[in-house]
Structure 1
Amino acid sequence: MKRLLAFLFVGLVAAAPCVALAQQLTVSAAASLTDAFKEVGAKFEATHPDVTVRFNFGASGMLLQQIRQGAPVDVFASADEQTVTRGVEAGLFDESTRRDFATNALVLIVPAAQGSPVKSVMDLSNPAVRRIAIGKVSTVPVGRYTQQALEKAMLWDALAPKFAQADSVRQVLDYVSRGEADAGFVYRTDAALMPGKVEIVQAVGGHDPVTYPVIAVSASREKALAKAFLDYLLTPSAQDILKRYGFSQS
């Protein structure tokens, strides 16, 4: 037994330098980036064998609140410019590292194969449309893009009683795919994930460009690694992954 314990101790001591060298990068990213970033993270890890990338996905505004409250995050990727700007103004982010790495499009979706009367934004006023899923304007960028588009079409106030507000763009997608909402506003990339359950009826304009900025968190303890990840997002390898998931290059 003593020999076994001694052997285990020597083994642990020998392994200690490897454990010390291991690094973890924590990335908080917009929910719409979930699928693409999981693949991007795996590719990044392949080029950095001693690094583990841990993702936290959610509504951009909610993620900002977590960072403001002290969540240990190294990199933040948002679905809008406004949320990053608020973080910069609050001193949470290193503005010198900010860069745009992808763009997207706002689309109107309906449940597939249900003979929806909705063919465009103007049809949302139809009495047959009882529930419209949108992201929460205060925390979900897709909700703000939706508000801008509907205000441009002079429909925001009239449609307000029909709104079912969701905590993320993925929740909007779920509401529509399950038929719990008659229509909803999501990004093109999200709609593409459920081709048999939702149908895109219109690409929606009248809003700010859907641009994805990424930035290093000022309190990060892995500043060099965070910069390496930011740089990687602009490489052909990462951009090819994003393109496959429907994102366009910024």
Structure 2
Amino acid sequence: MRLIFLALVLLVSLTSGAFAQNKPLTVFGAADLRYALDAVVIAFNKEHPNTKIETIYGSSGKAYAQIRNGAPYDLYFSANIAYPESLIKDGFGIGEAKLYAIGRIVLWQRKGGKIDLFKGISVLNDPAVKKVAIANPEHAPYGVAAMQTLKTHGMWDGIQPKLVMGENISQAAHFAASGAADVGIIAYSLALAPEMKQIGEPFVMIDYKDHKPLRQGYMITKTGANHPLAKTFAEFIEGKTGKEILKQYGFEVPTE
């Protein structure tokens, strides 16, 4: 009977290990990572064939709340390192929150737009600008950066009637790209995406001094602690290939 019991324990252990190996790695990425992280996954799969990775994109703040309520993400890439730091502190992850990139924001409009973006942020006061797209500052770090920029220039209160807020920076970019807004304050990484470059005018960088740094961080969640690929993927994005891809999409990456 003891031998039978030990055999059953071994079988369950092997089965659990195989299940963990075959279970897709679920990665949440802030909306500004949509194109960059997709490229990282493709590169990762080339080095690690037969692995399955599911990516989910949205606002960092909403994902933060979801993880606190049991969302089964294995890794959480936030546009604000403060979110994963808070989750780690409260026991929702393992190890430490790590900085993976610093983001930037830009002024962007569709081709054929009548606004001279090279006049800078003050151009948003032009009567020809009816709608300005930004991410919602309540839960999107890129929205906070847009708000801080407008406040730096004394424009926040006056620009309120023009604002069209997206749930995340990707939706804000969509508003600008679709014509629902005349101009968008969007992520540099999204402005560099091929389809955005194809339909947009030359965009203009917003001075990084106009807002607090967009320090972006990630963590392995408690769920991810049990997935054999979580640490491997984290090491990959911190490695040479991962960093090069992030740089291609306009992110500043931490050095050794």
TM-score (norm 2): 0.83
Return the offset for 1:221: 4.7
Distance in 2 of aligned mates of 1:56 and 1:186: 19
Distance in 2 of aligned mates of 1:179 and 1:138: 24
- Aligned position for 2:180: 180
Distance in 1 of aligned mates of 2:244 and 2:47: 16
Distance in 2 of aligned mates of 1:82 and 1:111: 33
- Aligned position for 2:170: 170
- Aligned position for 1:237: 241
- Aligned position for 1:116: 115
1:201 paired residue among 204, 224, 227:
204
Code of the residue aligned with 2:113 in structure 1: it is Q
The answer to whether the Cα contact below 8 Å between 2:81 and 2:218 also exists between their aligned partners in 1 is: no
Distance in 2 of aligned mates of 1:234 and 1:18: 26
1:135-150 equivalences in 2 (<5 Å): 135-150=135-150
Return the offset for 1:102: 1.9
The answer to whether the Cα contact below 8 Å between 2:113 and 2:182 also exists between their aligned partners in 1 is: no
Distance in 2 of aligned mates of 1:144 and 1:17: 43
Return the offset for 1:242: 1.8
Return the offset for 1:72: 0.8
Gaps of 5+ in 1: 1-15
1:222 paired residue among 219, 226, 232:
226
Distance in 2 of aligned mates of 1:62 and 1:243: 26
TM-score (norm 1): 0.84
Distance in 1 of aligned mates of 2:166 and 2:29: 17
Return the offset for 1:121: 0.8
Distance in 2 of aligned mates of 1:179 and 1:50: 41
1:88-167 equivalences in 2 (<5 Å): 88-94=88-94, 96-118=95-117, 119-167=119-167
Code of the residue aligned with 2:175 in structure 1: it is Y
The share of aligned pairs that are identical, in percent, is 27
The answer to whether the Cα contact below 8 Å between 1:176 and 1:198 also exists between their aligned partners in 2 is: no
Code of the residue aligned with 2:189 in structure 1: it is T
Code of the residue aligned with 2:105 in structure 1: it is L
* Structure with a larger share of its residues in strand: 1
User: What is the DSSP-based 3-state SS (H/G/I as helix, E as strand, rest coil) of the residue aligned with 1:111?
Assistant: coil
Distance in 2 of aligned mates of 1:159 and 1:33: 27
Distance in 2 of aligned mates of 1:88 and 1:145: 24
- Aligned position for 1:70: 70
Distance in 1 of aligned mates of 2:225 and 2:70: 13
131-140 or 221-230, which deviates more: 221-230
- Aligned position for 2:55: 55
The answer to whether the Cα contact below 8 Å between 1:111 and 1:177 also exists between their aligned partners in 2 is: yes
The answer to whether the Cα contact below 8 Å between 1:169 and 1:186 also exists between their aligned partners in 2 is: yes
User: What is the DSSP-based 3-state SS (H/G/I as helix, E as strand, rest coil) of the residue aligned with 2:52?
Assistant: strand
111-120 or 170-179, which deviates more: 111-120
- Aligned position for 2:8: none
TM-superposition CA deviations, 1:60-116 (whole Å, max 9, x none): 11111221221111110011123223323443233x332112222111112222221
Code of the residue aligned with 1:110 in structure 2: it is Q
Return the offset for 1:122: 1.0
Return the offset for 1:223: 5.1
TM-superposition CA deviations, 1:190-212 (whole Å, max 9, x none): 11221232231342331111222
Code of the residue aligned with 2:179 in structure 1: it is G
Q: Against the structure 1 CA distance between its residues 19 and 56, is the aligned structure 2 distance closer, same or farther, given a 3 Å change threshold? A: same
